[in-house]
Amino acid sequence: MQHREALPYRMRIAAALVCGLVLATAAHGAGLVGGVRLGVLPQSWRDDNGNPISLSGFTGQRVVLTMAYANCHRICPMTIASLARLQAALDAKGEHAEFVVVGYDPENDDPAAWRHYRRSHRLDRPSWHFLTGSDADTAQLARQLHFERWKYDEHVMHESRVLVFDAHGLLARELGPETGDWSDAL
């Protein structure tokens, strides 16, 4: 009799854990919109020319921000291609945004790697910014903005996600695969 009662109890516990994980995942990103400002994020970055740059310097403009790897061959190219389509859609509407890509891996995503990336992907517009920071600032930014990443064998896995900050520097929108065509998102 005990064995029969224990099984449903274990199943209820497992179901509760799964539901909790699903709810935590859904709430994870949802709490960011309207609660994050560019000015409270780490500010010490270098652009692909090695020049110092701060995120608060973009206040007053719409900012489309993501994190990526310069040497990523799967997710990042798709994210950057989506950003390029978003740029084209904004151009068609006569609107402007600054596109900020922060490197996940400061050791390898240094200014020279981003400069090469910019040239090889023909992303030469001055509204595109490829940033490198310290290990600590990069990890803090990823934590604050909930950019998840994890190792799988020799690969670093991460999500395709983009954050849109309004002209006041306030996070206004989160874009991911579930939001569909990003060109209609702004």
Mean pLDDT confidence for 3-21: 39
- Do residues 37 and 178 make contact, with C-beta atoms less than 8 angstroms apart? no
Where along the chain do its domains lie? 1-30, 38-184
- Whole-number pLDDT of residue 178: 63
Q: Which residues on adjacent β-strands are paired with residue 133? A: 45
In CATH, which of 3.40.50.1370, 3.30.870.10, 3.40.50.1820, 3.40.30.10 is domain 38-184?
3.40.30.10
Q: How far is CA 165 from CA 39, 69, 134, in A?
A: 11, 21, 23
- Whole-number pLDDT of residue 34: 61
Question: Within 10 A of 178 (CB to CB), how many other CB atoms are there?
Answer: 7
Top pLDDT among 21 and 129 is at 129
pTM: 0.77
Give the neighbor-by-neighbor strand order of the sheet with 63-68: 52-53, 45-46, 128-133, 98-103, 63-68, 162-165, 171-175
Top pLDDT among 75 and 48 is at 48
Please tell me the distance from the alpha carbon of residue 15 to that of residue 54, in angstroms, as a whole number: 45
- Whole-number pLDDT of residue 36: 87
What proportion of the chain, given as a percentage, has pLDDT over 70?
71
| pLDDT, tens only, 85-106 | 889 999 999 999 999 999 988 8
Q: Which residues on adjacent β-strands are paired with residue 86? A: none
Please tell me the distance from the alpha carbon of residue 65 to that of residue 170, in angstroms, as a whole number: 12
> What residues contact 137, with CB distance under 8 A and at least 6 apart?
42, 44, 45
| pLDDT, tens only, 108-160 | 889 999 999 999 999 999 999 999 999 999 999 998 998 877 666 666 666 77
- Whole-number pLDDT of residue 156: 64
> What residues contact 156, with CB distance under 8 A and at least 6 apart?
69, 72, 104, 105, 149, 150
> What residues contact 168, with CB distance under 8 A and at least 6 apart?
37, 59
